[in-house]
Structure 1
């Protein structure tokens, strides 16, 4: 019985040694990394390459006998000379995306040590075809850089609300690296911009624009972003939004309610180069304090409201509009004046002016 047990034990020991020896043989080359992701590449951007580094951990010199790729689109380049123990070598894998689309994942097998050592490398990526690039990035910021959009709309933003982030995606369609920076025009102070300082040839990047209302800022957000690409200014990227009160501490039971005596003015024909004046009465018909944060007017209209106003329950205020008709060069026009308040039901109240202009 004991002899049988010893025989089984010796057999298992030989099996373990054989397996270990086999595993050691398969591990003759140790790669720093066996996987590479090319990310998003262009079908028309030309071939892309990556170099894998390895070390001979076998106890004698090795020769790479064969490199097998899963398709002809991957072309490995490697040294045919013997590699001494402890020495390093490289295998460069080149992928040609021309005529191919969508996602790819390819394997490359490296055979050495008289066929006893096999390593497998992997490459992958996503290919954007020429047509898709033009569709997905239709706007030129420069001769090198394309963008997916030139306008951003944040809609309505509330004070103390969650910041809102939008993105502009870029693609460098050229064969050279570019340097990038940005500047802001008509800046509200509500935007925070994050973007790379450079973009490599035939590669992608993202500009992240975070909007968070600046304390005391109400009304229209109308910033303009200029991207400088190798010191050349891009077309304007326009950013829109409207900042309102967050209504903290205001409930339906105690809410203020703004009432305006007139919200639409049909002015008829008015001679050019004439200034006219119109008035409305604003009243608080609710229970809580009505705060008029801002009266936002176009450049040719001014009002007697220069700062924030607070109306108690039942109080009213006369608002005077001064219109400079000489601004208009056409026969008819319409424009809007916006009141930004803490009225829950109408945080943005609009008064419309419409007219035909005489001779």
Structure 2
């Protein structure tokens, strides 16, 4: 009797476990490929079969955004019968690559099913923004990445937006990148009409320099012609990291004071160089370090007698104007004194005059 009861329980368990619906798809993924935004909504039917032995009910079919709309039957699907889920994607206002999941819940046992659609939309020309710079079919909003103040001790990030305006994939490449800059393309491959960005990482500790600085690297295209390249400029103002200082430390730091912020040579006649001197004083409570006197005018020669000053001490900055090196008759230049003064890390000096 006991064996008979156990046998009936086993048969009942097998019957319960076998009696269930089962959804099986022909394919759970569909690639629409590349198509124009003006094409309008695109649709794909995902075919499936109920391979179980009980009616199958699609309880819920949903997507993650309003651009993807699934349609399906709510009637039970008998064992052995087939059905479909129609998925429509609307590309309006959505240029570039897309990938969308569709989640399906049924009365079958197990986890929910997931379908995927993907493709690349070429944006409408009527609303497409025009980037002023071109490298082949790669367009750029700018050829300059400004980093502004870049404190030592930290890697500074910057970026530049680009877009593929062609009908084939592009792989941007980078050459002659300075050692203190690393560059990556996100994404690495740009699909037609897809926008990406060139991201840079700037390490100011690798370069032995201070103040305003320009660097360059070449941007080109993989398998592009020799003319498919351009130069991207990166600018940064390299300073000490003053964010780590407390208010008391800032107050007790070294502080710079100039005897004048303007040097006027007046009229310089002939080819004889003229010199003028201004004084730099540390009015603070700690030692002041003068990292650099930045000068981009080749007709000016700069000589700083000391680059470290104890509190209360003064040094001289000698500025020489050389007519033989002048590119034109007018002298109107700016020097920048770069220091570790947290209140005035960059102090300008205007240099004026004319050559006859």
TM-score by length of 1: 0.65
* Structure 1 residues 309 and 338: alpha-carbon distance in aligned structure 2, compared to 1, 3 A threshold: same
Q: CA deviation at 1:338?
A: 1.0
- Give unpaired runs (5+ residues) of structure 2: 1-11, 54-67, 70-79, 103-112
Q: Does 1:156 align with 2:149?
A: yes
The 1-side partners of 2:151 and 2:88 are apart by: 51
Deviation string, structure 1 residues 105-135 (Cα, Å, up to 9, x no partner):
9999xxxxxxxxxx99675889643244334
Pairing partner for 1:199 from 167, 187, 190: 190
* Structure 1 residues 298 and 202: alpha-carbon distance in aligned structure 2, compared to 1, 3 A threshold: same
Equivalent in the alignment of 1:222: 214
The 2-side partners of 1:41 and 1:265 are apart by: 64
Pairing partner for 1:43 from 33, 37, 40: 37
Q: CA deviation at 1:286?
A: 1.3
The 2-side partners of 1:176 and 1:226 are apart by: 22
The 2-side partners of 1:317 and 1:193 are apart by: 41
Name the SS for the 1:322 alignment partner: strand
- Give unpaired runs (5+ residues) of structure 1: 1-12, 61-72, 75-84, 109-118
Pairing partner for 2:292 from 262, 275, 294: 294
Q: Does 1:212 align with 2:209?
A: no
Alignment of 1:63-142 (within 5 A): 97=91, 100-102=92-94, 123=117, 128-135=123-130, 138-142=131-135
Alignment of 1:133-282 (within 5 A): 133-135=128-130, 138-160=131-153, 162-184=154-176, 187=178, 189-195=179-185, 198-215=189-206, 216-229=208-221, 230=224, 232-247=227-242, 251-271=249-269, 273=271, 275-282=273-280
Q: Does 1:30 align with 2:25?
A: yes
Pairing partner for 1:342 from 325, 340, 343: 340
RMSD of aligned residue pairs (Cα, Å): 5.0
Equivalent in the alignment of 1:114: none
Name the SS for the 1:134 alignment partner: coil
Equivalent in the alignment of 1:112: none
The 2-side partners of 1:258 and 1:139 are apart by: 43
TM-score by length of 2: 0.66
* Structure 1 residues 57 and 145: alpha-carbon distance in aligned structure 2, compared to 1, 3 A threshold: same
